[in-house]
Structure 1
Amino acid sequence: MGPASFPGMEKPGYLTALRRDGGRLAEAVRDLRAAVPACPGWDVAELVWHTGEVHWFWRQIASGAVPGPDDYREPPRPADDELVTWFAEGVDALAGALAALDPAEPRWTWAERKDAGFIQRRIAQETAVHCWDALSAAGRDEPVERELAVDGIDEFLRFFLPDAPPAGFRADVHLHATDGPGEWLVRPSGANWSVTGEHRKATAAVRGTASDLLLLLWRRKGPEEVEVLGDAGPLEEFVDVSQLN
């Protein structure tokens, strides 16, 4: 895979984002039974539980309490009236565990990068997207913070595309942020992907804010919510392909 166009944020930025978006998620909860439009079949209670349980998992890994998923045990689920408080306390505990780690400290991850820095980045990104889910359930379409969204696009294109382009997939996609620096050209390259920061003609060109581009990749927004130059078919095919990993 070719280089992404941005080097990523630093540890303090990820911890700030975790605390900020974890707090925003908790604050957005008004009705635990409300549906979460971006997560079919989930209500807000399920969203809060899922995000909190993900935080719990990565805290066990980051702290060294468990070496990997084979030794992990899920926490007991709190009662609904305790769920948001449990989640908020978990955000603080996770932020503390991650703050104590050098990003280069070796840790288990599911990715090729196996260090605390991967966890610090991944948990900030996971929390940001689920914060958006909670806000949308409350009728609020509020963007992911721009710098974090740019970093999230890079993370997605590096770690969440399938290992190899599916047979017959030939489209290349150019993503262009309209609210500041940020563009990515994604192309199938034999048995691999090429991801570069160049500006050039592609099968599908997509323009939108960094937040909207990130949410498009995570299927929180559709192609109709960004500007697509040319046929939207290749973009839709790429978004479908990107979920196969």
Structure 2
Amino acid sequence: MANIEFRDYLRAIRDESHRFREVLTDCDPAARVPGCPAWDADDLLWHLAETQWFWARTVRERPDSPDDSDDGPERPEGHDALLEAFDDYSAQLVTELGKADPADTAWTWSAEQTVGFIHRRQAHEALVHRLDAEQAAGAVTPLDPRLAADGVEECLDVMFGAAPSWGTWHPLQHFLRVDCTDTGDSVWVQVGRFTGTNPADGTDVDEDDIRVVDAPRAEPDAVIEGPAGALDAWLWRRSDDAEIKVHGDRGIYGHFRKAVNHPID
């Protein structure tokens, strides 16, 4: 994948958050959010505000786990108060990340426990929710291709391909390649199954799963291709597949689709 430096992730957090705020300033607070159907525009505004507050606090205070923190800020009443809270928390996140070394240790929900993970994850959080805001307001603009290409890899590797430690990954010798046609980036994905018993509720799990892998010494069973922005939005269930083409084994593609065919907020 194209290398994105941490200063570019920080710039993306700032710019995408600015666009998010700009769009929601005059959007009907009750407008529905297509990518998150349970939310209206003000719910979306508070979600990103609260998320950015949490990660600003995490970078600033470095708790050992989120259990060490309080319940977070109370949601303000009214649209204008939500906008003010967002401005405050978003500025805090940019400030704290700007002061921190990306290589520093910090708690995250991922196996990667670094400030750098927070840079990347929050850049894509802001990007996707900017798209949510634009869809709610009916004012969609393109995603930056370079950031979206990185988002394709991040979505497949971190959001879909990172399984909990209580289960087992069973790889199959079948691979797909996801090609971003406008940037030249590619992501290789291996299909398989994930099994285990969820300790939280005792549920037995046996489901289709994927992992991002280095390019194997084999041709892909299937290729999925499209512009980076279209692929990123499609994987996040924020758009259809009108700009996406699939070549090769439809059965392996179907396995992949089952593994990624669930919503992420």
Calculate the TM-score normalised by the size of structure 2: 0.80
Residue equivalent to 1:156:
155
2:28 aligns with one of 31, 35, 42: 31
Aligned partner of residue 246 in structure 2, secondary structure: strand
* Residue 48 (1) aligns with residue 51 (2): no
Q: Pick from 11, 14, 22: which aligns with 2:17?
A: 22
Q: Which amino acid aligns with 1:10?
A: E
8 Å contact kept, 2:191–2:256: no
Partner of 2:124: 125
Q: CA deviation at 1:35?
A: 0.4
Aligned residue number for residue 180 of structure 1:
183
Q: Which residue of 2 aligns with 1:67?
A: 64
- The reply to whether residue 216 of structure 1 matches residue 211 of structure 2 is no
Distance 2:157 2:220 in 1: 19
Code of the residue aligned with 1:76 in structure 2: it is: E
State the 1:144 CA deviation. Answer: 2.0
Residue range with higher mean Cα deviation, 190-199 or 224-233: 190-199
Q: Where does the alignment leave 5 or more consecutive residues of structure 2 unmatched?
A: 195-209
Query: Using the alignment, how far apart are the partners of 2:55 and 2:260 within structure 1?
Result: 24
Q: What's the RMSD between the two structures over aligned residues?
A: 2.8
Distance, in Å, in 1 between the alignment partners of 2:222 and 2:242 is 14
Which residue does the alignment assign to 1:80?
Answer: 78
Identity of aligned residues (%): 32
Question: Structure 1 or 2: larger strand share?
Answer: 2
1:57 maps onto 2:91 in alignment:
no
Structure 1 range deviating more: 80-89 or 50-59: 80-89
Following the alignment from structure 2 to structure 1, what is the Cα–Cα distance between the partners of residues 237 and 254? 10
CA distance in 2, matches of 1:86, 1:149: 27
- Higher RCO, 1 or 2 (CA under 8 Å, sep at least 6)? 1
CA distance in 2, matches of 1:202, 1:165: 24
State the secondary structure of the residue aligned to 2:239.
coil
1:241: which partner in 2? Answer: 259
Q: Report the 3-state secondary structure (helix = DSSP H, G, I; strand = E; otherwise coil) of the residue aligned with 2:124.
A: helix
Which segment is superposed worse, 228-237 or 182-191?
228-237
Displacement of 1:243 in angstroms is 5.8
Structure 1: 5+ residue runs without aligned partners? none
Whichever of the two has the greater Rg, that structure is 2
Aligned to 2:203: none
| C-alpha distance in 2 between matches for 1:224 and 1:58 | 35
Deviation at 1:175, TM superposition (A): 1.1
Q: Secondary structure at the match of 1:215?
A: helix
1:201/1:138 Cα in 2 relative to 1: closer, same or farther (>3 Å)?
farther
* TM-score, with structure 1 as normaliser: 0.86
Q: What are the Cα deviations for residues 136-160 of structure 1, in whole angstroms up to 9, with x where unaligned?
A: 1111332221121122222223222
